[in-house]
Structure 1
Amino acid sequence: MPEHKQGEIVVVTGGSAGVGRATVREFAKAGADVVVLARGKERIDAACAEVEAMGGRALGISVDVTDCDAVEAAAERIERELGPIDIWINNAFAGIFSPFMEMTPEEYRRVTEVTYMGQVHGTRAALKRMLPRDSGMIVLVGSALAYRGIPLQSAYCGAKHAVQGFLDSVRPELDYRGSQVRMCMVQLPALNTPQFEWARTHMGKKPRPVGKIYQPEVAARAIHFAAHANRKEVWVGSTTLEAILGDEAASALLDEYLAETGVDGQSAPAPVSPGRKDNLFEPVPGDFAAHGRFDDVAHATSTQMWLNRNRGAVAGAVAAVAAGAGLGFMLARRDEG
């Protein structure tokens, strides 16, 4: 049996489903060895099998990212069994669809601890190993909602805002010490993932994403790009751009608009199924993989992300066109003279 050629060693938290599962596939396709950190063993095993089918080494570890000691133990095991971690992707999150006053303190705390503190714990474990080597990349998976909160998701939006502030603090600390370890945050749009099937909800109807919906592979490609680019942030999707810039320009007007549309817009016509299980405190059984139930309306590409990836070439093309137009204008004026 030929010896495996070691590629990048990449850790993906929440890597068993949704964006995490698509990201695991994206890195495996590029030749990486991938570690899947999640809770549900069935989905972890399925994700690892996909990595191995593409020729990579896979390691699956069942861990709750709210447990700092467990995340640290997982990182130690990864380096012992696979080697030095090159890229750590903090993707795990939890969500709940509910008016703020209808959530319990325990529910709110759980969303915050998974979505925010999970990224803090992952970053700590990664930096502990990357700083002495002076190399490595940490990707924080964020959302347009890190800038612009919406109704029914105050816990999730607050946590993503916190991740944004965390990035703003830690990144210059790395720069101050002259470290070559890099950090980047990817701000994602609405995505067609299983979260809408298993996120806890206090609403009577099935939750759904708002605005333009993208396939999780769009997010996965953006995360792979961010892990290899020298950027602080990568915005994905036209709706992310609109939400962030719109909030900067007219935040109060967005409040009024969301008061009118933000609640009903997150509810599908169908009622929540009786006995529906959610994954807030325990994983839901079954292999949900990457996609949710919105394949018929989800977009598989993002023009905005293409422009983001190729902004150097685009800027050069725009400059060339502008220069050509300027030259034509000068020649025309010369002929007139």
Structure 2
Amino acid sequence: MTIDPNSRIAVVAGGTAGVGRAVVEALLTRGYRVAVMARGQSRLDDMERQFGDRIWTRSVDVSDGAALTAAAQDIAAEFGTPEVWVNSAMLTSFSPFEKVEEEEFRRITETTYLGAVNGCRAALSVMEWGNIVNVGSGLAYASVPNQAAYCGAKHATEGFTQALRIELAQAGRPITLSMVQLPGMNTPQFDWALNRMDRKPQPAPPIFSPQVGADGVMRAIDTDAREILVGRSVLKLMVGNFLLPPTVERQLTKVGVSSQKGDAPPEGGPGNLDRPDPDYPARAAGSYGEQASNRAIIVDGDFARKGAALGGAALILVAGILLGRATRPREESDRPAVQDRDRIRRLPR
């Protein structure tokens, strides 16, 4: 293969289905040539037939760090040095924790968390500058029942990403590391993941199309954002867990399982933990397209966090003022206003 020295190169790990597949198409539309890695060879072959020499493919399990780093070296040598790297591979099962065997929990963690870690290590071995994006979830802020392994992996990815971002800044490397936190997405994971619930799993509403997730990834690349939040549901999880975590947990105790159940009966089957589904085509969308929105609010996480902090402080201040008025003895109503101001200053912020 002849390498075009002017081509822009991107890499997507987990790029044959779901949000990763939508990101591949978004990058191709931007003029990138894209290296795509995933476990399923048949889906990689489908994509090669569709996109030709605009993509480079290899069957890699992201939990194998050595294989992923070797693939990165080959991408740089055969296709070009990447300036964008997106880690989007994931596994999950819809199961109560006590029914999840240790090996199952480990497999989900190795792919969803260590897959991102291995991807960052591989990317840094070849990238000179550019953007690394770890695809996360609103469940990194507020976990749901029946997906303990996946939620734990997303929390871990958030912590790892922050630590690595600081190290890159210390080293002065011109590489931006971003997290993109996604809402419920209409991806194939709900068709092929191991399921022990009494109904077929669904994305917790509101549901969005994979292209919305890809828009969030592209926003992170375009703006060098530290974090991007996609959808009001993610904003609610972040703000709610920041301000009122007991309330969030009580609500999820009531609806956390039911919101993940669709109307159809369970389909059974072993799931895709040990091997990819050989019959599922290389596509972004799953089975809930009729319920999925193609638009969502996409905001910078730091901007949203500042707004939540200021809003929370204002809420506490207003509540304190009202509480002070409600509980103040009637005979004190004519005290000088300065004493009211002193009392307000002592409120926690």
TM-score (norm 2): 0.82
* Cα distance, 1:49 vs structure 2: 3.4
Q: Is the Cα–Cα contact under 8 Å of residues 188 and 284 in structure 2 kept in the other structure?
A: yes
- Structure 1 distance, partners of 2:238, 2:48, is 35
The one-letter code of the counterpart of 1:259 is T
Partner residue in 2 for 1:108: 105
- Structure 1 distance, partners of 2:50, 2:300, is 29
1:33 aligns with 2:16: no
Which of residues 181, 192, 215 in structure 1 aligns to 2:209?
Answer: 215
Partner residue in 2 for 1:160: 154
- Structure 1 distance, partners of 2:49, 2:10, is 16
For residues 120-178 of structure 1, what are the alpha-carbon distances to aligned partners after superposition, in whole Å with 9 as ceiling and x for unaligned? Answer: 01100111222xx3x12110100000111111111000000000000111111111122
- Structure 2 distance, partners of 1:249, 1:35, is 41
- Structure 2 distance, partners of 1:270, 1:300, is 23
Partner residue in 1 for 2:140: 146
1:202 aligns with 2:196: yes
Point out the structure with max Rg over C-alpha.
2
The equivalences for 1:38-187 within 5 A come to 38-52=38-52, 57-130=54-127, 133=128, 135-187=129-181
Q: What is the DSSP-based 3-state SS (H/G/I as helix, E as strand, rest coil) of the residue aligned with 1:228?
A: helix
The one-letter code of the counterpart of 2:118 is H
- Structure 1 distance, partners of 2:278, 2:171, is 45
The one-letter code of the counterpart of 1:256 is R
Q: Is the Cα–Cα contact under 8 Å of residues 96 and 145 in structure 2 kept in the other structure?
A: yes
1:15 aligns with 2:34: no
- Structure 2 distance, partners of 1:30, 1:49, is 20
Deviating beyond 6 angstroms after TM superposition, the runs of 4 or more aligned structure 1 residues are none
Partner residue in 2 for 1:261: 255
- Structure 1 distance, partners of 2:51, 2:223, is 23
- Structure 1 distance, partners of 2:157, 2:45, is 29
Partner residue in 2 for 1:24: 24
Q: What is the DSSP-based 3-state SS (H/G/I as helix, E as strand, rest coil) of the residue aligned with 2:91?
A: coil
Q: What is the DSSP-based 3-state SS (H/G/I as helix, E as strand, rest coil) of the residue aligned with 1:255?
A: helix
- Structure 1 distance, partners of 2:4, 2:77, is 17
Q: What is the DSSP-based 3-state SS (H/G/I as helix, E as strand, rest coil) of the residue aligned with 2:85?
A: strand
- CA 1:288–1:205: 2 relative to 1, 3 Å: farther
User: In angstroms, what is the RMSD of aligned CA positions?
Assistant: 1.8
- Structure 2 distance, partners of 1:117, 1:277, is 23
- CA 1:265–1:3: 2 relative to 1, 3 Å: closer
TM-score (norm 1): 0.85
Q: What is the DSSP-based 3-state SS (H/G/I as helix, E as strand, rest coil) of the residue aligned with 1:88?
A: strand
Unaligned runs of 5+ in 1: 312-337
- Structure 1 distance, partners of 2:6, 2:142, is 41
* Cα distance, 1:228 vs structure 2: 2.6
Aligned residues: 300
* Cα distance, 1:277 vs structure 2: 4.3
Q: Is the Cα–Cα contact under 8 Å of residues 12 and 20 in structure 1 kept in the other structure?
A: yes
Which of residues 273, 278, 282 in structure 1 aligns to 2:271?
Answer: 278
The one-letter code of the counterpart of 2:88 is N
Partner residue in 1 for 2:221: 227
Q: Is the Cα–Cα contact under 8 Å of residues 142 and 241 in structure 2 kept in the other structure?
A: yes
Which of residues 282, 291, 300 in structure 2 aligns to 1:297?
Answer: 291
